[in-house]
Structure 1
Amino acid sequence: MSLLTNTFLVCVLCVALYNAHDFQLGATTNATLGYQETVKLSSVPLTQRIKNVFYNSNNTKIIRGIVATDLQKTKAEPSITAGGIGFSFVNVRLKGEKGKALYYLVQVFV
């Protein structure tokens, strides 16, 4: 194989390994960070780890953006189950892989 083919193959493998499920909704530019939480749950064999992150603004600030960053690069699935962009509250549900740890940074911008 040529050097170019080997380099291309290594690049493709690196991209395939970096398969994190980061989540971004809305705009984070020109918005202030209203809430931040780091979720770190250890792994339990044959069990999916699930964590709900709640945010509720007492002074009715409207949410402009939500970012959930997978710090461990797993195939965990973040989702919004209540509220979100345009509301003053949000519930972010983090559902990890079976048998894997859950390590996320959740940020809410208002």
Structure 2
Amino acid sequence: MRRITSLVLFLVLCAHVCEAKDLVVGSRVNNLLISTEKVVYNKIPLIRRDKDYSYFDQKERVIKGIIARDLSRTDAEVTVTDGGVGETYVRLHLKSERGKGLNYLILIFTDNK
């Protein structure tokens, strides 16, 4: 019993260490992928990188889901600052941890019509 408890605690600790702060807003289920972009900014030692990413749909389709996946698995943060789900545009603010770069895959979904 003690070995099982130790193993479970070890697995939970590993999952927590490998956890990244991905942004998932809305839904991608039964929706059409309309944009895929990779956002990469190099690291600068001791500096935190802050960048904005904007997407405007030329066909004015309403956004139903947004996923911003941290490919580097760091403690970077992404927030929606303008638009988003229910709008035809979105502005995301990406903020790296100190001394690290940004490496995100951003996926945007709309109705499958």
TM-score (norm 2): 0.89
Unaligned runs of 5+ in 1: none
Amino acid at match of 2:102: L
The alignment partner of 2:45 has SS state of coil
Comparing 78-87 with 50-59, greater Cα deviation is found at 50-59
The alignment partner of 2:80 has SS state of strand
Match of 1:65 in 2: 65
Once the two structures are superposed, the pairs formed by residues 68-107 of structure 1 within 5 Å of their partners are 68-107=68-107
**Alpha-carbon RMSD:** 1.5
Q: Cα distance, 1:30 vs. partner? A: 1.4
Number of equivalenced pairs: 110
**Runs of at least 4 residues off by over 3 Å:** none
Amino acid at match of 1:20: A
Question: How many angstroms apart in 2 are the aligned matches of 1:50 and 1:82?
Answer: 16
Amino acid at match of 1:30: N
Once the two structures are superposed, the pairs formed by residues 6-85 of structure 1 within 5 Å of their partners are 6-85=6-85
Question: How many angstroms apart in 2 are the aligned matches of 1:73 and 1:51?
Answer: 17
The alignment partner of 2:6 has SS state of helix
Q: Cα distance, 1:40 vs. partner? A: 1.6
Q: Cα distance, 1:70 vs. partner? A: 0.9
The alignment partner of 2:8 has SS state of helix
Comparing 59-68 with 13-22, greater Cα deviation is found at 13-22
Unaligned runs of 5+ in 2: none
